[in-house]
Amino acid sequence: MRRHPGPVRSLAVSLPVSPVAAYLVVLVWASLPFVPAEPMLVAAGSWSATGGLSVLAVVAAAAAGSLVSDLVKYAIGRLAGPALLQRLRNRPAGARAVTWIEHRVRRIGPAVIIPSYFVPVGVVVSTLLCGALRLPLRAVVVASAAGAALWAAVFVLLGYAGGVVSGHPLAGIAIGLPAAFLLGALIARRTTARADAGRVEDAGSFCRRDRSTAPSSAVCSDQLLDADDDRRRQVYLCVHGRSGRCTRAA
């Protein structure tokens, strides 16, 4: 009895580039700062489901590229973090992300990068803020590597699931992308609610300022980010809640 060619053989013919080239595309695309990579991960995951690519290699390439991107943003944060964060605050999604990150960085430090991968604009804010506050590079690398691996696995597997269900890479992308956008919308909605609640809580607990001035986590954070290098230790203690007062930088 003659067997019909399966989806693996079909994909091997239709894959537009070699597997090595595909892995490099994923690596380079994920390493670009400020460029969304989720559609690329979903597409690569769908191709993986039908046999043209290794799902583990795709996840590894995406995670490695994202780690590079995070380190670039961390370096940018050390140089121009306050100005960039202020620009992000001028956009609704950016303002929510800044509030969400500031509320948590005082408790868990660089580890905030891990959950921020699943918050719209979150990983941008968290890595810039870690750089601006001169948080330890080693801790940033560890947190970023963990977050990048988790993030890459989630979105690649969404595409992979679409490819398995449909049996065709393009149909898998058509299934995986709406699922990814739905996941992003649900996370954004949850983040908005958390950010609104966190903004109220942060007003009294993030950093205590002079009673003559209304407390504000955003203003206090700006003052910290403007601090000179010789006051970074004070900044670090403050964002971790170990200092009871933030004073305006000279």
Helices assigned H by DSSP within the chain: 7-14, 19-30, 38-49, 55-89, 92-108, 113-116, 122-132, 137-166, 169-205, 217-225, 232-239
Inform me whether the pLDDT recorded for 202 exceeds 60.
no
Spatial distance between the Cα atoms of 225 and 223, rounded to a whole number of angstroms: 5
pLDDT per position as a tens digit, 36-94 = 899 999 999 999 988 889 999 999 999 999 999 999 999 998 888 777 777 777 877 77
Instruction: Among 6-15, 64-73, 173-182, name the most confident range.
Output: 64-73
Local structure of residue 167 (DSSP, 8 states): S
pLDDT digits (tens, 9 = 90+) for 113-126: 998 898 878 888 88
Domain ranges of the chain: 21-174+183-203
pLDDT, position 2: 47
pTM of the model: 0.70
CA distance 12 to 6: 10
Q: What is the pLDDT of residue 14?
A: 63
Please determine, for residue 215, whether its predicted confidence score (pLDDT) is greater than 50.
no
Taking 70 as the threshold, does the pLDDT of residue 26 lie above it? yes
**236 CB-side CA count, 13 A:** 11
Other residues' Cβ atoms within 10 Å of the Cβ of residue 179: 15
Closest by CA position to 191, among listed 94, 108, 105: 94
DSSP 8-state symbol, 63 = H
Q: What is the pLDDT of residue 149?
A: 96
Phi-psi region of 34 (alpha: psi -120 to 50; beta: other; left: phi over 0): left
SS (H, E, C) 99-139: HHHHHHHHHHHHHHHHHHCCCCCHHHHHHHHHHHCCCCHHH
| 135 Rama sector, left if φ>0, alpha if ψ -120 to 50, beta otherwise | beta
Bigger pLDDT: 100 or 208? 100
- Residue 247 confidence (pLDDT) above 50: no
Q: Is the pLDDT assigned to residue 138 strictly greater than 80?
A: yes
